[in-house]
Each structure stands twice: as C-alpha cells, then as structure tokens.
A = this chain, B = another copy of it.
Amino acid sequence: MASGKPASGEDSLIARYFRPLATDPGAFNLDDDAAGLKPNGDDIVVTTDAIIEGVHFLADDPPDTVARKALRVNLSDLAAKGATPAGFVLTLALRRADEGWLKPFAAALGEDAALFGCPLLGGDTVSTPGPLMISVTAFGRVPPGKMVHRSGAKPGERVMVTGTIGDATLGLAILKGGKIHAATDTAAREILVGRYRVPQPRLTLAEIVREYASASMDVSDGLAGDLTKLCGVSGVSAVIGLEQVPLSDAARGLVSRGIVGPETLIAGGDDYEILCTIPEGRVEAFEAAAQRAGVALSSIGTIVAGSSVPKFVGKEGKEIALERLSYSHF
C-alpha cells in the first residue's frame, strides 16, 4: 500500500482513503514498502483471514459491513488467543476503483481500527477480474509464552462459549430468502442479518481467556466442527448438552416452531464467539470476570477422555447425529 507522490490511480486512491487511517508510527504514513512493529518483550500473535465476495459476504452487502467483517474475523482470532491487538495489514483486490464503494469501506475500517485499538499498518491494493477479496493479517501481543492454544483441553474441564450460536447462519439464510426469511419478522431479520454481516470480536475477554482458559479458539466454521478440531488437537473428546448451547431469542423462536433444527445452528459458520475450556475449580472466577467484562458466557458441556468426535446430547440424554460438523471450503 505504499505510495509516494500520487503518480497513478492506485496511489491517489491509497492517499485519499487509506492514509488517513495510517496514524500509527509503524505505518510510516503508507509511504514505504513495509510497516514496522516495535518489540516490547511480548510475543507477537499473527493471524490471517480473507473474505471473498460470494463466499464470505454477499455482493450487495453494504461496503461498511464488509470492511468491519474483514477486520473483525481477524480480531476474533486474536481475542480467542488471549492477545491484545497491535495492528493489521490489508490486501484489497478490486475490480475497479469505485469511490462510492471505497469511501464508506475505508471510513468503517478506520472506525473499527480505532474502536478496537488495531491500527492499519500497511497493505497492497490490486486489481482483479474476479470477486472482491479482502485479506487481513492482524497482529496481537501476549506476554512471552502466554498465547492460548487449541491444544490444552483436559478431561474434566468445562466447555464454555460466549454470546449466542447460530445467528449468523440464520442471517445468511434470510439474505438468501426462502423459509427462514418467510418465518421471521423485520426485527428478527435485522438482528440475525446484522450478526452475519458484522461479527462482535470478544476482545474485552482476551486477557480473561489468557488468565483462565486451558484451550481456546474462535467459532468461525460452526460450533460442532470447531469443537471437534479443539478436541482433536488436545487429544480429548467432549459431551455437550444441546439445550445448553446459547441461542438468541430469534433463533430459539425458530427452533421452537420447528423451522430449523438445533443441529443446523451448531454446524453453521460465522459465529465469531470464543469457545474455551476451563478447569472446574476456576469456572466460577472465570464467569465472574466475564460478567465484569460484560460478555455473556454459557457452560455447554464437559471435556472427556477419548478420541471420538464430541457428542451432542439432547433433552432426554439422547445423542444427536450430526450430518455435517461445519462449513468446509472444499
């Protein structure tokens, strides 16, 4: 995203829309080939996630929500790893320099960068004949060795999740029309679509996760599949109470009316909540800390020994068979 004297369309575009965001000294005013991250003794946590038009967002999603989603899906990873944001770089692949799209995109990106304390450090703007693509690499800091991994879950520990699960997959279904759209009123649609378009990264929980969680990840591809990954890497299994999985009022209404099954919600993607495991003796203190941070938290099950796929158990203790665990790109 370097640009000196505006000598081309690309450079003037960067100067106009992105330079105002590059307030961090490490961005070098976007006047260089590279950005700088100063050491402060902390480990640097690096995460990268791209969103693509037609895959991760829809062609008619508003540009401001696209910007927020691109940054927030990365901030969600940092939060789950217990990291404090330090900055991000952006790769933007555009079909054309459409200022009507770029202006609100950059404005919202700048707002979120300020809101979450994660400044734009640099980037690359390129043309593409294909769908819009926004790739973000975000950096966070943790004290040495303190990044929270997926691999630390142990039998007997509590499985906990923030917020509510399944709203984003319902929001996407509403945007595509069909039975979920028909079965929801305007207020519910607005909430669910908002959850699909603009995730809420749980950064206020980052330090608390670092203090209490034995393992943690963000739920991005579906709760069932992501828990399966966490268990696989930790060498454990889990038993989850389907009734304990937190649902929004809108989602609960659709389930109670039989419009969607809970298995659709726990296999749907785009939740961007934190899934973590907590040693039993520390659950109460973790819950209290989360409450002080203003983040809703639910206890959904227990880690058990074994290597099988986690069990999701319904009302009468009956195991629910899941046709698919999560979203996969291939």
**Within 8 Å of chain B (Cβ to Cβ): is A317?**
no
21 contacts between A and B (CB under 8 A): A2-B150, A4-B233, A10-B329, A10-B330, A28-B149, A32-B81, A32-B147, A32-B151, A33-B47, A36-B45, A37-B44, A39-B41, A44-B44, A46-B121, A48-B89, A49-B91, A52-B93, A91-B135, A94-B330, A127-B329, A137-B137
- This chain's copy number in the assembly: 2
Q: With contacts A35-B47, A80-B33, A149-B28 known, is A52 near B137, CB below 8 A?
A: no
Give the residues in chain B near A96, CB-CB below 8 Å: 330
Of A105-113, A201-209, A222-230, A297-305, the one touching chain B? A222-230
Give the residues in chain B near A228, CB-CB below 8 Å: 4-5, 7
Chain A: number of interface residues, binned into ranges: 35 or more
Tell me if A126 and B52 are in contact (CB < 8 A): yes
Majority secondary structure of chain A interface residues (helix, strand, loop or mixed) = mixed
Give the residues in chain B near A44, CB-CB below 8 Å: 36-39, 44
Task: Report the Cα distance A39→B94, complex, angstroms.
Answer: 35
Give the residues in chain B near A139, CB-CB below 8 Å: 46
Q: With contacts A39-B41, A50-B135, A135-B135 known, is A31 near B150, CB below 8 A?
A: yes
For A225, give the chain B residue with the smallest CB separation: B7
**Within 8 Å of chain B (Cβ to Cβ): is A245?**
no
Task: Report the Cα distance A188→B294, complex, angstroms.
Answer: 66
Return A176 CB to nearest CB of chain B, in Å: 16
**Within 8 Å of chain B (Cβ to Cβ): is A266?**
no
Complex partner residue of A7 from B10, B49, B325, CB under 8 angstroms: B325
Give the residues in chain B near A144, CB-CB below 8 Å: 38-39
